[in-house]
Chains A and B, each alone.
Chain A
Amino acid sequence: MTALTSTALVTGGSRGIGKAIAETLAQDGYQVYLTYVSKPQEAEAVAAQIQARGGQAKAFPLNVGNAEAVTRFFAEEIKEKVDLAVLVNNAGITKDGFLVRMKDEDFDAVLQINLRGAFICMREAAKIMTRQRHGRIINISSVVGQMGNAGQMNYTAAKAGLLGMTKSAAKELASRSITVNAVAPGFIETDMTASLSEEVRKTYEEAIPLKRMGSAQDVANAVAFLASDRAAYITGQILAVNGGIYC
């Protein structure tokens, strides 16, 4: 029997931080499986670009908010098909609004995808990784999950929740040589932050000791480190990639 291909699964890999993570892990030699929901062309373009550079990548439509679809995806595409070396829980949405105006549905929708989606993916990955006796799980949290943010009750709850799950999973899976860590990006140049007004952007930059927003690549570099052998003794940690904001 031939060895299974060492694979990194990146949820929400069609753009922004997820795209940079997919590209960086592909450069590091992993076959990359990236998932997408709304942007099939962009996801396929990321996969095609990785292949053009000599890497291996495939894009899959998968809504992590749909537990049944996630379970099916792991059964059909991952289990006994690849060596699941790395899972990066990156998929996320925002539905911002002030507390007094936030609708139940907007709270639930963000928790459903950003927190529960990561939980389902971790659960299905852990079933496979415990048998493999190795694996790396990296959850993409956020600086706002650590320090709070007006207008993001739902998003910050999910991102803070990811930190708790990261620490619990790290303890549960340590005996199987599986590490679980979180990366908490600060203010990063992506579609999600491009819509900010110049004024808001200035305010953010003033608050960052390095006086600039980060790039998706800055985050991807941290993920690649945690995925690598160099991080074998690091688990249950939060690596902040935020230009020096202390929280």
Chain B
Amino acid sequence: MSDVAAKVTKIIVDQLGVNAEDVKPEASFVEDLGADSLDLTELVMAMEEEFDIEIADGDAQKMLKVQDAIDYIKNR
């Protein structure tokens, strides 16, 4: 697992209180990991803090699955 993927996984585990093995690349934040809209906002804020970036609302709304978030951060 890449460094970014590991960090993103850790953030998701911390934020959503899920098991690391459930945080698969194809997992949907809402449907598979049980995130609500406030969780999604908090996830984005946690990623902004961890990677020292700013994620625009439009970009955040496109992050539906775990892999989307990893790809987004890798491409920054």
Contacts and interface: CB of A to CB of B under 8 A. Distances in A.
Contacts of A173: 38
Secondary structure at the A interface, as helix, strand, loop or mixed, is: helix
B45 A127 contact: yes
Interface string B6-41: 000000000000000000000000000000101000
Interface residues of B, number: 4
A52 to B, nearest CB: 40
A127 B48 CA distance: 13
Nearest to A131: B42
Nearest to A126: B38
A176 interface: yes
A128 B42 CA distance: 11
Interface string B40-55: 0010010000000000
Contacts of A149: none
Residue from B38, B42, B45 with most neighbouring chain A CB atoms (10 Å): B38
A177 interface: no
A127 B41 CA distance: 10
Nearest to A172: B38
Contacts of A63: none
Contacts of A215: none
B38 A175 contact: yes
Nearest to B41: A130
Interface string A139-182: 00000000000000000000000000000000011011000000
Nearest to B14: A131
Contacts of A172: 38
Nearest to B17: A133
Interface in A94-148: 127, 130-131
B45 A176 contact: no
Nearest to B36: A175
B36 A130 contact: no
A127 B36 CA distance: 16
A94 B61 CA distance: 41
A131 B42 CA distance: 9
B31 to A, nearest CB: 18
Contacts of B42: 130-131
A176 to B, nearest CB: 7
A45 B56 CA distance: 45
Contacts of B45: 127
Contacts of A127: 45
Contacts of B36: 175
Interface of A: 127, 130-131, 172-173, 175-176
Give the top 9 A-B pairs by smallest Cβ distance, nearest first. Answer: A130-B42, A175-B38, A175-B36, A130-B38, A176-B38, A172-B38, A127-B45, A131-B42, A173-B38
9 contacts: A127-B45, A130-B38, A130-B42, A131-B42, A172-B38, A173-B38, A175-B36, A175-B38, A176-B38
Given A130-B38, A130-B42, A172-B38, 6 more contacts: A127-B45, A131-B42, A173-B38, A175-B36, A175-B38, A176-B38
